[in-house]
Every structure is written in structure tokens, then in C-alpha cells.
Structure 1
Amino acid sequence: MPTDRGTRDQLVPERDDDGYADLRSYAAIGDGRTVALVALDGRIDWLPLPGLDGVPAFSALLDADLGGYYSVCPVDDFTVTREYVGPTNVLATTFTTATGSVRVTDSLNEGIAGRLPWVELARRIEGLAGTVPMRAVVTPGTALRTASPWLDDTVHGLVMRLDGLTLGVRAGDGTDVSVEDVSLRITFTATPGSRHVVGLVATEKEPLFLQLPDQLDAGIDRTVTMWRSWSEQFCWDGPWQEQVHRSALVLKMLLYAPTGAMTAAATMSLPESTTVAKNWDYRFAWVRDTAYGLKALFRFGLREETHAAMSWMLRRVREHGPQPQIFYALDGSVPPAHEHPTDAPGWRGIGPVVRGNAAADQLQLGIFGDLFTIVRLYVDHGHVLDTETGRTLAAIADLACDRWREPDAGMWELPENRHYVTSKLGAWEALTGAVRLAKVGQIPGDARRWEAEAEKIRAWVEDHGWDEERQAYTWYPGSGELDASILLHAISGFDRGERMRSTIRALRDELADGPYLYRYSGMAREEHAFTACSFWLVSALHLTGDRDGARALMDELIRVLPNDVGIMAEMVDPATGDFWGNLPQALSHLALVNAAITLADDDGASADGAAD
């Protein structure tokens, strides 16, 4: 599979014997509500409907036999080049066969006035050279083996039905459509200058608007225009322009437009390991990701998204507080603290495939710091809090004073509660943020208490979190082990001095493999390197004085980590460059853009108090 950026080289799509594609082969398209993953061979193997947390109508990504897919590709063998259509989330793939070439443009369409009230996937096929026989196959899946699809012959033609979904397949002139069981096969021939369109419209538990094929085609151009207009509002004149902008476009896809929530990833249950069951559902909104995202959104001058994410998060805290939740469902509800196993085999048979996330009821002290980071950024950029939010935040600061001494599950959501050092620092970050907000009149309360407790936390970390023998901040007192999340507290401003520099050296000695970092001690034996950790290291190096080292590491990561169209997953195998874990992963792209921001703002001021 390809590891180099760019589109000049012809790529040969490959699947294993069971029909699974390498995770690095996927591009993503989205409409602010759902995301489709498109493999190099033109097959859409993942598309939940109508939203990211909806029915996985096409999920061959996790179930090659019964998951379902939607493919468009030449009948004969081919090679591939692909790229996004400029600064958009519309994908163009060029297929070349022995007899000619053809371009397929894939778009999750927008409406004239914004997001459509239905989901509309359009695929335009343009003949470029020679004669290329083409085939499209639409095979709905079994929603991870929980439902059975069926074809309904209506007065206006065949539609597909699955677990409350109604799907209409649309094909333009010059195509032949045949039925095989519950699949539709569409064949046609591309010649120089020819233009065909096939597509899909979908609704859930409501009537289906059967869009005409030429309207689907027009929707592609409208969607390109919309994305270009959005990109014109994007302000970034720093280094690594291409990848920073692409990562911002990925993050825009993961912002759930109906509510403003930042989705952690577009997928669920993609494995992090081949030896340990680490398959998680990430289609939720983590407070942490929203906090890290706001720094980027502010820096890029994106006003609507910033306010929507901020307001959504604070409404959830007021509604479900005062203890902040680790994450919320995309509709704002608190998800149940359990997982629903399915019978799907998982990507390449590496299960389990589960819906839901059992970490929902954990105590994570770092959430306090993440929440106050959001609010501090908002206020520091010239905005003001409402009275009710101020009172809620004051109550949360008091709660942080009372709870910081408790053991918790830590940032990594571990099953055993301990006194994790970075968890204590999350409470420290919250209380220092509360003091700052109180001093500028944004929240009520006794700032003297918060300031005193913050100093107690600092003293605790300096006394119990520092290992004199290792010359490093450790994972938890007495462990002698290391945790890469300590890098976030070079960024938060807790320590940018010699102790942090010494800790960075220890982390690189023990947790690094080339430019990549594992999350904490021992993880190299059971999972792959965590993408975000490498970019946290970039920021920490810069902020502790090694600016040349930071820039060199950033250059290397930009070169080797994203796939050919700039997408990144949660984890990467240092030996092969293969992707592991869910994708596109918000935290990976957030860490990249915030590292770029930190390095671009050479004095480091932009990183003060804001974690990457």
C-alpha cells in the first residue's frame, strides 16, 4: 500500500483473500452529518445513515461477507490516482486500464441552503481516454448482522429498505440496471467526453425524496462550490499548508452539523491490536477533542463552528453536570455505560465489533482541565459567558477542588483507577483556568480557594509524580513507568523547564520507535504507536527550547504519516506504516494542526494554557 503523499504515482488497489482493504487505502467524504470511506478500488465500505451514529447500511469495513458496499470501478484491471477536488471534501479518483481511463468524482452532496434534509451520495463518471467498461454495485448490508435488507418494488421503481432506512439508487441515461438478490448492478461504458452519474438517496423513518440523476450530478458542483467557499474563510499562512488545510477539512467533516458536536472518529471497532481486544466505538463527542479542536478553530478564524461547538458543550454540562461527562452522544444525551456486542467478525476478522463505549461512566480528572481550556480560549478570544454558565463552571471548579485527590481511570480510560500524574495535572489546569476566569469577571466564586488547591496539586506532582532515579515524571507514583500524555503539560504550561526536558528524553528512549511514540510503558508489546503522541512531542520539544528538533520531527511526520490524500488513523505500525484503529481520527488531525500552530507562533504564546 502507498505511504507517500501526492497523486502522481499510479497505485494498485489490493484486498486480502477475505475481501478487506488496508486501512491506509481509505479516503473520506462527508456532509457534516455522516462520512463515507472510499477505498482505492472505488468501493465504499463504510457509510452509516442518516448520521455517523446511525444504521451502518454499508459496513464491509467490519464485515466483508454481510456488511454491504457500494462500488464504482472499471470491469477490467486498473491502476489508480486520486486527490480531493482542491480544498474540498469531494474526491476524484482516476482509473486507468489497458483500454483507457476514467475519472470518478464522489460527493456527499449539500443543498442550495446548506445541509440537505436527506442523505445524497453522488458519483459522477467521466470518460477521459479510450473505452472503459464500467460497473457499479450497490449491496446493502445487514447492519452488523442485526437486520435484513430487502428490495421493495414501488410505483416509482425499486428501493432498498433496512432497519428503518429507505434507500433509492439512481442511475442516469446510458446505464443498464439488473437485480441480483438484494443487490443492484449498473453497467455502462465510458468513452472520451462521456458523462454518467449513479447515486444514492436515503432517509430514516420518513418519506424518501427520489432525487433525479441530473440533480445528483448538479449537486456535486454545488458541493464543490460550498467547500471552496468554506476554505476561503480558512485563515492559515503558516508552514505545512497542504496538510494543515486537509486536516482542517477532515475536522470539519467530523463536526456533527445538527448539534455542533466534535465526533472523535468516523468509525467504530477498528482494531488497535492483533493480540489484545482493543476495538472501540468512537462515534461520540469527547470533551477532550472539543477542547483541543477549539484552539485550531479559533486560530483558523472559523467563527460559526467555534461558537456551535462551545455552546453545545456548555449546554451538555449544564444539563448533565456538575460532574462533566467524558463524552456525550452526538445528540447531546449521556450514553449508557455499556457496549452492545455484534456477531460481525471485524476488520480482517479481528473482533469484537461493539456498539457503545463502556468508558462512559469513568472518572477522568483530566476532563476538568479540558472543559476549562475550552472556556478560557473562548473568553481569551474576546467573547463572554452567560450568567448560568458562569455559575455552573464555578461549581465545577469547586468539585475539582474536592475530587483531585481521588484515583481515576486516566486519560487512556484504563480499567484500574490509580493516581495518574496527568490526571492531577488536568485538575490543576482546571483550577488555574478558573482563577483566570474569575479575575476577568467571567465566573463567580472564591478564586482564593481554587488558587490554593492548584498550588497543592503542583506540590503533589512535584513530590509524588517525579522519579528522581529515572529523572522523569512517571505514569503514577511508584510505578517507574512513563506516560506520553505528560507532554500535554509542557503545552499547558505546567513545566517547560529541565524536568520536562529530561522527561522528554526518557520518553524518547523508552516509548519511541523512529518518529513515533507509544502511549505508555509496555504498549509496544500489545498495540501500535499512537499518532497524536508524536505531534504532542513536536509541540513539547518546541516549547521546551528544541525548536530545530521540533521542526525536523514535524517534517518527518508530515512526510510519512498521512496517506496519499492526507487522512490519518488513530495508530500506525512503525515497521510498516500501516494504519490501525479508527479513522479518520479527530485527535490525530487535531494534534497535527495544533503542533503546526505552536511551531508557527514562534514565541509559543498561542499554546499557553491550551492543550494540543
Structure 2
Amino acid sequence: MEESLPEALSTERIDGYVDLRSYGAIGDGRTVALIALDGAIDWMPVPSLGSIPVFARLLDGEDGGAIELAPSDPFTVTRRYLPGSNVLETTFTTATGRARITDALVTGVAGRLPWLELARRVDGLEGSVHFRWRVAPGTRFARSSPWVEQTTHGKVIRIDGVTIAVKGSDHGPRGGGPRGLQGSFTTSAESRHLLIVAGTADEPLHLPDAASTDRTIDRTIQNWQLWSSEFSYDGPWADAVQRSALALKLLIYSPTGSIAAAATTSLPESMSGGKNWDYRYAWVRDLAYTVNALIRFGLREETHAAVSWLLTTIKEHGPELHIFYTLDGDTPPEVELLDAPGWRGVGPVAIGNPAKSQLQLGIYGDLFVTMRRYVEAGNLLDAETGRLLASVADRASDAWRQRDSGMWELEELRHYTSSKMGCWMALDSAVALCELGQIPGNSERWKSERDAIRDWIEKHCWSEKRQAWVAWPGAEELDASVLLHAPSGFDRGKRMSTTIDALREELGRGPLLYRYTGAEREEGTFVACAFWMASALACVGRQEEATELLDGLVALGNDVGLYSEMMDADDHSFLGNLPQGLSHLALITAAITIEELSR
């Protein structure tokens, strides 16, 4: 069944831009494409997600580049993901007929293709619909100019080492100027046309065959559905959970097993600008939550790949932990501001993230809970990893006393409450792993420091006046990240319950939640925080409230079930990068937590 679009969504473009809620996402394990309601692909890095994109109208309405495919006459739209897949199906209806586009970044017989291949299959359903298409790479943020080159195998587009070929069936390029290719065709009942865009960077390009790609689309659908059939979750909100798991799968970078925090860079957290960061990196925090979700789904391969990537990367760049790494396992570059206006002119556009050099103590908890869940799922750590984790536990035993930037990457160093709770979680998991024989050493010191952390938090971070865990000792401010430590087991009692009430009163806006006191002056509500609230409510025994809240939050995804990082508190428009892994992870965790605790 196709999903009707909410009234707030439209296909209107303003200076080349559409609402962020307009986007559906497809991917192949190496990159992600964002498809707007009008059929245009406004974001697609080639060849990899971390590349400077050649199609980036998302951030540069004039020169960013796009792949357009839509009826030439006025139309209405419905769309859906094909069940159990990341293949998007969009149906256009005009005054003369109806046609359907099936969009996929296709995979091969043995999995991900060594080149990028976008397949857009157009099936005529009723009457006739005249379509126009255009493939026009952008300037890669004013770095280079694309040009069309005639080869012995037809025209290709080249831009700074990237080669783009456009192939199809029953149509072909008819002009497009020196920097792009374009064409048109007309559907009829039961007709079929294909538009195929293939690309590589700094290597030869395989030119696709339309008939073969047509079959590959069906194989790609089957591959996605086979992956989805491995899920072991069939509880409440199953459809939303599966869609979120599929969204997370888009962010898993198959060449290494790392997991991107989001598929985009520089989408604004506030319409006043300034908070525009690159999230195409692998945060240890996000990977920890993802591994937890994958384990609960019974998905073995992705779990092992992510854990192995993380450990290999830490060993290579240690001994100190970085809060995030590149998808290839390197330390991230310095921040570079690019020459582009940003979505709807709200810049800046950046590569990199300034948080790379920060101290965030919560990362110790993220690492150890990942390893603990991995072992408890029936896996075994090698001796070198055991020694590594023992040394990290020793460092956490000292480091917890330091000030840090907190989970929210804040500039002012403080003794953030949730950071201390993360260190408690790290040492609690280290003790458990030691007792299971997975890491060497004597756990007595870790036990002692774990208990000292709890005593310190209870003494310094609780406010009798506010009846809440405050953001840091002596503060009146609140921080929604403490909600993570109901599921962690630090507090599932009365104090967490009254903290929930304080957070909802001060930071809540309907079902949504701001990150911390004062955030409403700087940004939208943070989607993951609202889902954390639902999980915390269940952990403190408030099941009915948790269920009601999650029902409301599930309804706030876009028409195909995707979530961005943030939402406007008033009209629920999307803000921040998307699809945002942390938002989808928080949905999954909330659903599973509520279901498990209601048994």
C-alpha cells in the first residue's frame, strides 16, 4: 500500500531547495542518495559517502548538481519503500496517465558492486505520461567544472577524476549542454524505460547494460528482503522498527564495517545557521548503540564487522580513544569550510567536525557496553583485545575525575553528570567482562572506582530543589542525556522518575525534547532525546506513558518513516543531518525496551 503524503509536504522548490521532510534515501553499502518528492536526486556522493559529492543540490541550489526525472506536466505523488527493502517506489499521476519510478542503488550477485550504479526504472501504469530527465553534476562546491566528453562508447561526464555514464532503454541523451546530459520519453500502459547512472572515481568505469540492470533491480529488492527476513523482532511498532533498522543499514559502510552517524553534512540545526556539522563519520557512541540493536535483531555479520573495525581502528590510532573516526578508519581531518550557500542559504557548508579533538568521557562507557553486549551474545574476545580493554579500563579509572566536553560536544569543560555516568557504565562492564574471563587482570580496582563514581554522582549531581539529576554539580540546568542511564542500569528508581518529570516540564515540547537547558534558543528539538525519554519511562515502571509517547513519536517520521537529527518544536519540520542514525537507533531501543519490560 502506498503512503499518502501529509498536507505539509509538497513538491515545490524554492531557489532549488525542498523541505528536508521531502527526502527518501537509498543506498548500496558505500554511498547514499537522497530522492525528493519530485523525483530529483539532490544528494549522492560518488563513489563513497565521505566523498565530496558531485550531486549536491541539497546544499547548493544553483551549482550543486542533481539527477532529475519527473513528468513534464503537473503531477501528484505517492510513494513507499518496497516492503523489507531500501528500494523506493514513487508513483506520479498526471491528467493523462500514471507511471511509477522504482529507484535503487543496485547490488551484484556477490553483493556491493565495485562501481556505483543508480537504476531508475519507469513503468507505465495507465494512459501516457511524458517524462523529462537530466543528469547534471555540480561543481563539487566550487572546486571543479564538469564537462561532457564524447567517447567510442558514447558520451560521458567527467569531473575531477569522477566519470559518470548515463545509459537507458528506449531513450537516449538529447542535448544537455557541455556539462550535463538530458532526454525524454513517454510511457504507456505496461511500458518500461530505464535511466541508469554509473560512476567511479580515479578508475575505469564499467558501462551498464539496460537489460542486465533491469534484472539487477529485482535482485537488489530480493537481497534487501532476504536481509530483512533475518530480523528476530516482531513486537509492537514492528514496521517502524524494521524501517529504522533498514535506515541504519544504509549507514553501514560495507568496505570496512564502520557506521556513519548520518548520510549528509552541514544541514542546519537552526535556521539562524552556525550549527552545521559533517556527520559522515563513525562515532564510537553511535556504533555502540547500533551494535546493541544489531545484536538484539540477531544480525551477526554486521555486528562482527562493526566490532572488528572499531577495535582495529583503536589499536591503530591509540592508546587514547577518539570520539569518532573516518569511515575508512583514519583520524578525521581538520574542518574545512566550503564555498556553498548551504540548504536554503543557511550555511556554512563544512567537511569535518570540530569535536574531533575534544575529551568526552562517555566514550569509555560506549566502548565497554559494546564489548559486553558482544560477549553476552555468545562471542569471544581475542587475547590482544582483552589486554587493550584492560588498559582502557585502567585509564577510565583515572580519567573519570577530569572535566570534559560532555556528550553534546560543548565548548566549556565541566564535570558533566552524564559523562560520569558513562564512566560508571564502563567500569561496571569491565568488571563483568573480567569475571567472564574475557579481559585479564584484577577487577578490584575497577570495582572500587565504579563505586566511587556512583558515590560522587549521588553526592554532587543530585538537586533536592529540582528533584532531578542536574547537568553538572551545583547547576540548576538540566541535560537530557542522563536519560540514557535508566537503560544502562545506573538509576531505574525514584530519582530518575522525578528527573523525567523535570526534563519534560523544562525541555519538553509536546512529545519532543530539547537536549539541554537553553537549547531552544540555539536549535530544534533533538529527536533521539524524545525516544530516550520513552525508554526511560519504561525503565522506571511508567509503561503506559512510555507507550503513549512512543506512539506519538513514531507518527512524526516523514511519509516513508525516516527521521532527521532534529525537528522544529512547532511545525515538526526536519532540521539537521539525515537520515540520522542516532534518531533511528533511539526508536529501536525504545520499542525493544518497552516491549521487554512489559512482558
TM-score by length of 1: 0.96
Is contact 1:176–1:188 with CA below 8 Å preserved after alignment? no
In the TM superposition, what are the counterparts of 1:168-187 in structure 2 within 5 Å?
168-175=165-172, 177-187=174-184
Q: Secondary structure at the match of 1:94?
A: strand
User: Could you tell me how far apart the structure 2 residues matched to 1:296 and 1:6 are?
Assistant: 28
Is contact 1:177–1:185 with CA below 8 Å preserved after alignment? yes
Is 1:566 aligned to 2:565, yes or no?
Answer: no
Partner AA of 1:393 in structure 2: L
User: Could you tell me how far apart the structure 1 residues matched to 2:380 and 2:5 are?
Assistant: 50
Is 1:594 aligned to 2:589, yes or no?
Answer: yes
* Residues 487-524 of structure 1: CA deviation (Å, up to 9, x unaligned): 00111100111111111110001000000000000011
**More deviation, 583-592/453-462:** 453-462
Partner AA of 2:509 in structure 1: D
Match in the other structure for 2:516 = 520
* Residues 25-56 of structure 1: CA deviation (Å, up to 9, x unaligned): 00000001100000000000000011100130
The gaps in structure 2 that reach 5 residues or longer are: none
Q: Secondary structure at the match of 1:13?
A: coil
Q: Per-residue deviation at 1:603?
A: 5.9
User: Could you tell me how far apart the structure 2 residues matched to 1:207 and 1:443 are?
Assistant: 47
Match in the other structure for 1:542 = 538
* Residues 448-480 of structure 1: CA deviation (Å, up to 9, x unaligned): 001111111111111111112111111111221
Match in the other structure for 1:609 = none
Is contact 1:6–1:565 with CA below 8 Å preserved after alignment? no
**More deviation, 433-442/212-221:** 212-221
User: Could you tell me how far apart the structure 2 residues matched to 1:15 and 1:529 are?
Assistant: 25
Q: Secondary structure at the match of 1:307?
A: helix
Is 1:478 aligned to 2:474, yes or no?
Answer: yes
Count of residue pairs brought into register by the alignment: 598
* Residues 259-313 of structure 1: CA deviation (Å, up to 9, x unaligned): 0001100000000012251000000000001110111101111110111111111
Distance change in 2, residues 1:448/1:319 (3 Å) = same
Is contact 2:34–2:42 with CA below 8 Å preserved after alignment? yes
Partner AA of 1:245 in structure 2: Q
Match in the other structure for 2:529 = 533
Q: Per-residue deviation at 1:141?
A: 0.5
Distance change in 2, residues 1:101/1:410 (3 Å) = same
Match in the other structure for 1:241 = 238
Q: 325, 330, 335: which one pairs with 1:333?
A: 330
**More deviation, 271-280/486-495:** 271-280
Identity %: 55
**More deviation, 168-177/531-540:** 168-177
Is contact 2:417–2:470 with CA below 8 Å preserved after alignment? yes
User: Could you tell me how far apart the structure 2 residues matched to 1:278 and 1:62 are?
Assistant: 14
Name the Cα RMSD after superposition.
Answer: 1.3
Q: Secondary structure at the match of 1:200?
A: strand
Is contact 1:67–1:142 with CA below 8 Å preserved after alignment? yes
Is contact 2:4–2:559 with CA below 8 Å preserved after alignment? no
Match in the other structure for 2:129 = 132
User: Could you tell me how far apart the structure 2 residues matched to 1:17 and 1:350 are?
Assistant: 13
Q: Secondary structure at the match of 1:48?
A: coil
User: Could you tell me how far apart the structure 2 residues matched to 1:144 and 1:479 are?
Assistant: 43
Match in the other structure for 2:227 = 230
User: Could you tell me how far apart the structure 1 residues matched to 2:271 and 2:475 are?
Assistant: 26
Partner AA of 1:241 in structure 2: A
Match in the other structure for 1:76 = 73
Is contact 2:26–2:87 with CA below 8 Å preserved after alignment? yes
Q: Per-residue deviation at 1:16?
A: 4.0
User: Could you tell me how far apart the structure 2 residues matched to 1:166 and 1:32 are?
Assistant: 20
User: Could you tell me how far apart the structure 2 residues matched to 1:326 and 1:8 are?
Assistant: 40
User: Could you tell me how far apart the structure 1 residues matched to 2:73 and 2:41 are?
Assistant: 19
Q: Secondary structure at the match of 2:167?
A: strand
Match in the other structure for 1:583 = 578
Q: Secondary structure at the match of 1:576?
A: coil
Q: Per-residue deviation at 1:574?
A: 2.0
User: Could you tell me how far apart the structure 2 residues matched to 1:317 and 1:231 are?
Assistant: 31
Is contact 1:13–1:79 with CA below 8 Å preserved after alignment? no
The gaps in structure 1 that reach 5 residues or longer are: 605-612
Match in the other structure for 1:27 = 24
Q: Runs in 1 of length 4+ with deviation above 6 angstroms?
A: none
Partner AA of 1:598 in structure 2: T
In the TM superposition, what are the counterparts of 1:359-438 in structure 2 within 5 Å?
359-438=355-434
Is 1:155 aligned to 2:147, yes or no?
Answer: no
Is contact 2:88–2:103 with CA below 8 Å preserved after alignment? yes
Q: Secondary structure at the match of 2:199?
A: strand
Is contact 2:85–2:225 with CA below 8 Å preserved after alignment? yes
Match in the other structure for 1:111 = 108
Q: Secondary structure at the match of 1:179?
A: coil
Partner AA of 1:409 in structure 2: S
**More deviation, 11-20/321-330:** 11-20
**More deviation, 467-476/281-290:** 467-476
Match in the other structure for 2:493 = 497
Is 1:272 aligned to 2:277, yes or no?
Answer: no
Q: Secondary structure at the match of 2:277?
A: coil
User: Could you tell me how far apart the structure 1 residues matched to 2:112 and 2:494 are?
Assistant: 51
In the TM superposition, what are the counterparts of 1:169-318 in structure 2 within 5 Å?
169-175=166-172, 177-318=174-315
Is 1:552 aligned to 2:548, yes or no?
Answer: yes
Is contact 2:71–2:132 with CA below 8 Å preserved after alignment? yes
User: Could you tell me how far apart the structure 2 residues matched to 1:302 and 1:6 are?
Assistant: 28
